[in-house]
Amino acid sequence: MTKDKDVSSARIYVTATFNNTLVTVTDKDGNTLVWGSAGSSGFKGARKSTPFAATTAVEQVLRRAQSLGVKQADVFIKGPGSGRDAALRAIRSVGVKINLIADVTPVPHNGPRPEKARRI
């Protein structure tokens, strides 16, 4: 499927929640090449939310992506979890060249309507 495409450059999406870290590698068109998470890397329960679990998940996913020919990538990080910095360090250690690092964490412009003011 991806053998005939040029996937030397890709996009890496890292979603770091408080409970898990999800990693998806796509081509430039957004088609998923490989994906994984701290849970799929063998971590369960509270250990899924650790930076070490995020590092392990990113390394496993990027090894598979490198076998498809990925050499450089744009990195998009989302979420407040503890795996954010660990994921970036893992990407650098695997040897994928990082072209761009973008924080795409959703931030409300105004948020929901505030509660009614208390009258005492």
Q: Record the pTM.
A: 0.86
Cα separation, 26 vs 34, in Å, equals 7
pLDDT, residue 3, reads 56
SS3 content of the chain, % helix, strand, coil (to 5): 30, 30, 45
Confidence label for 1 from pLDDT (cuts 50, 70 and 90)? very low
Pairing of strands 32-37, 72-78: unpaired
d(CA 108, CA 100): 24
- Please say whether the beta carbons of 70 and 25 come within 8 A: yes
Give me the helices (H) in 1-120, please: 51-67, 83-94
Q: Whole-number mean pLDDT of the chain? A: 91
Q: Per CATH, which fold does 9-103 belong to?
A: Nucleotidyltransferase; domain 5 (3.30.420)
The pLDDT value given to residue 99: 94
Kindly state the average pLDDT of the residues 43-48: 93
